[in-house]
A and B are shown apart, each in its own frame.
Chain A
Amino acid sequence: MAGYRTPLARVRGLGSAKDGTEHFLRQRVTAIANIFLVSFGILIIVRLAGADYLTVRRTLAEPLNTIALLLLILSGVVHMRIGMQTIIEDYVHADGYKVLALLINTFFAVVVGLASAYAVLKLSFGA
């Protein structure tokens, strides 16, 4: 049966990289998550306006706030990494620079995300 199929029919649906919609969807999923997580984060920070150090520590260490902040960090860095990747792919066309920029983009997202998560966990576990 496969022998009768045209070359076009055989490649149809495979796509160029087979994961073309993955970034699109992930950007939307994290965008929707960010609406809630960013709003919650803003509320935490506004509530802490002018608060002293101990109050800030205690507030950030509350379980709900810690979990929300960790989710915000995760969803935030995934979202920003995809966004910056799109910008790089739009404007940087030389292969070497593009690969380098994409690599730095990934490293930046991972480092910022992990450092922020570390700080939140340290606050929460009271070390």
Chain B
Amino acid sequence: MAETRQGDARPLSPHLSVYRPLINMVMSILHRLTGAALYLGTLLLAAWLFAAATGEREFNLLNAVFAHPLGKLVLVGYSWALLHHMLGGLRHLLWDTGRGFSIPAVNALSWATIIGSITLTAALWTLGLSLAGR
């Protein structure tokens, strides 16, 4: 009964492209996108752990790949996605309690998520790079 025939031209309700982007909607999309990115990002963590468990040569090789500008870009993106998804998750956990649903609160929480994730990522890399250069 729940089956739909594939290929039938069925009317669709308007989707993303017809709406003016609102901050809450952008954060909702980013939450899903960062979640999907983190899914693939687990391969980076797995590779790093595996290289460390395999040997010094393999570990240094992987670190050299990570140290390449493109590798660094991927790692910055990974860390931002992680922090953004975590802050977005905190927002969702707050919503799960039934709080924060007024429009001003929703907008404030959404802006806090994106500003917070960028700030935290910058802070993390500043700390990490200063530690790496010690």
Whether chains A and B associate is yes
Contacts of A69 in B (CB 8 A): 49
Kindly state the separation between the CA atoms of A80 and B45 in the bound complex, as whole angstroms.
Answer: 14
CB <8 Å contact, A116 and B45:
yes
Q: Is B52 an interface residue (CB 8 A)?
A: yes
Question: Within 8 Å CB of B45, what residues of A?
Answer: 116
For window 69-120 of A, CB contacts with B under 8 Å fall at: 69, 76-77, 80, 83-84, 87, 93-95, 108, 112, 115-116, 118-120
For residue A115, which residues in chain B have a CB less than 8 angstroms away from its CB?
A: 46, 50
Give min CB distance, B42 to chain A, whole Å.
5
A68 at the interface (CB under 8 A from B): no
Q: Which of A31, A42, A116, A122 contacts B124 (CB 8 A)?
A: A42
Least CB separation from B45: chain A residue: A116
- Would A49 and B46 count as touching, CB distance under 8 A? no
Q: Which residue numbers of A lie inside 8 Å of B, CB to CB? A: 28, 31-32, 34-35, 38, 42, 46-47, 49-50, 53, 56-57, 60, 69, 76-77, 80, 83-84, 87, 93-95, 108, 112, 115-116, 118-120, 122-123
